[in-house]
Structure 1
Amino acid sequence: MYKRTLVLAVALAAPGSVLADTVFGVYAGGQIWNADNEGQYAVGSNLIEPNFENDNHSSYYIALEHPVPLIPNIKIRENSIEVNGGYGENDFSHRDYILYYEIFDNDLVSFDIGINAMDFDGTLRTEISNTFGRQDFSVVVPTAYVAARVGVPATDWTFFADASALSVKDSKVQDAQIGVEYRLVENLAVDINLNAGYRHSVVELDDVDEIYSDVTFKGPFFGVEVHF
């Protein structure tokens, strides 16, 4: 599904002759995130302190980079964040639609800037007047996006970091990670990289479908990326 989405997005934005003459770089990867989950939320005036359980979350993505001027690169990342606490399983999962430009890029250093539309489609568990229920919420949160990579000369190691952040009135959404990557396989056909690091995400929503949240997910992650 994501590959079809990426191809469609570029096809709509670029002339057919450009597509025919351009060589695209495709990146695909994923990570397991061992997170410490904490915070609270409210549905209407009903405040819930869920005592979240710590759990593993997953994230995977596909990105397309190209040399066509003015047209941004695109990355789509699925973040599965389901946590038990309070009155059942709560879902803060969201999909990132990232459009970005490579401001600087060479074998050792790269720097990207862009925007990220963070598409939340979640569920919170509630208990009101001894009745258990669920409250669904849906919102697209636009954020600024930055990413940087710095390679260690004469080695197969690279340090990296990226962040998406927004602060508007009482709402705040932040998602940042920092880590190190090891180039396991590097040839003309495919590159395979292993990575590990630390990720920190904050979701503070103010009256989104009667939802108020102040939750944090943070902890180490391990992942893999394939470039072809």
Structure 2
Amino acid sequence: MYRKTMLLAAALAVAPNALADTVFGVYAGGQIWNANNEGQYAVGSNLIEPNFENENHNSYYIALEHPVPLIPNIKVRQNTLEIEGGYGENDFSHRDYILYYEIFDNDLVSFDIGVNAMDFDGTLRTPLSNNFARQDFSVIVPTAYAAARVGIPATDWTFFADVSALSVKDSKVQDAQIGVEYRMVENLAVDINLNAGYRHSVIELDDVDEIYSDVTFKGPFVGVEVHF
């Protein structure tokens, strides 16, 4: 009788946390990205080859997962891409609004598919009457989204990859990363994961507010993710 009582008490203690994780999961994280920046852009007919400097960028996100059928999970990610080159600081920063479904998900393998609305609100520097002028641009680029995770059995390591991509006529936007994750803390209250990998982003815009761009950001990153 004593043993049954203890087992019941343990089950009741664990159940709320297990249920909360199954029904409602919140993920938050960020990364520092040491990118090699290269490419060119044009404002109207004025082609600029800026000789971009290599810089660190950052990215951070929050995601909400739930079990409600047909309603997608959501992830919002801010990507800061500010680079010196040409006539000053140029800004290709954008915010990702990702809606996705978990097609397959277990302790070792998961696969997600969805869409990503990449919301650009940037600035380019251009010469105008011998003064450094700025040309603002704004556009939302819808892309396909896919993500996969594969765990290594009997270890705290997981491989992961995700990609957002679209190519239409002369425009192409692509953001992809691949890496490895280490589960540093894993308990009923919170999970903390460290990750590192390689990220590659291409932004080719064709006549967006008189902006034409062909720029690439690529390099290693390190990050952390917290799961409540």
TM (norm. structure 1) is 0.90
> Contact 1:60/1:77 (CA < 8 Å) preserved in 2?
yes
Q: Which residue of 2 aligns with 1:198?
A: 198
Secondary structure of the structure 2 residue equivalent to 1:141: strand
1:33 is the counterpart of 2:33? yes
Q: Which residue of 2 aligns with 1:165?
A: 165
What is the deviation of 1:132? 1.8
Q: Which residue of 1 aligns with 2:46?
A: 46
Q: Which residue of 2 aligns with 1:226?
A: 226
Which amino acid letter does the alignment assign opposite residue 27 of structure 2? Y
Displaced runs of 4 or more, over 3 A: none
Secondary structure of the structure 1 residue equivalent to 2:193: strand
Matches within 5 A, 1:11-160: 23-160=23-160
| C-alpha distance in structure 2 between counterparts of 1:192 and 1:220, whole Å | 20
1:19-46 deviation digits (Å, cap 9, x = unpaired): xxx8310000000000000000000000
Which amino acid letter does the alignment assign opposite residue 100 of structure 1? Y
1:207 is the counterpart of 2:207? yes
What is the deviation of 1:130? 1.8
Matches within 5 A, 1:164-183: 164-183=164-183
Secondary structure of the structure 1 residue equivalent to 2:173: strand
Aligned length: 208
| C-alpha distance in structure 1 between counterparts of 2:204 and 2:224, whole Å | 29
Secondary structure of the structure 2 residue equivalent to 1:52: coil
> Contact 1:46/1:128 (CA < 8 Å) preserved in 2?
no
| C-alpha distance in structure 1 between counterparts of 2:95 and 2:130, whole Å | 33
Identity %: 90
Secondary structure of the structure 2 residue equivalent to 1:71: coil
What is the deviation of 1:185? 0.2
Which amino acid letter does the alignment assign opposite residue 26 of structure 2? V
What is the deviation of 1:131? 2.7
Q: Which residue of 2 aligns with 1:4?
A: none
Q: Which residue of 1 aligns with 2:216?
A: 216
1:188-216 deviation digits (Å, cap 9, x = unpaired): 00000000000000000000000000000
| C-alpha distance in structure 1 between counterparts of 2:82 and 2:200, whole Å | 15
Secondary structure of the structure 1 residue equivalent to 2:52: coil
| C-alpha distance in structure 2 between counterparts of 1:113 and 1:132, whole Å | 43
TM (norm. structure 2) is 0.90
What is the deviation of 1:129? 3.6
Alignment RMSD, CA only?
Answer: 1.1
Secondary structure of the structure 2 residue equivalent to 1:69: coil
> Contact 1:172/1:202 (CA < 8 Å) preserved in 2?
yes
Which amino acid letter does the alignment assign opposite residue 169 of structure 1? K
Secondary structure of the structure 2 residue equivalent to 1:188: coil
Which amino acid letter does the alignment assign opposite residue 155 of structure 1? T
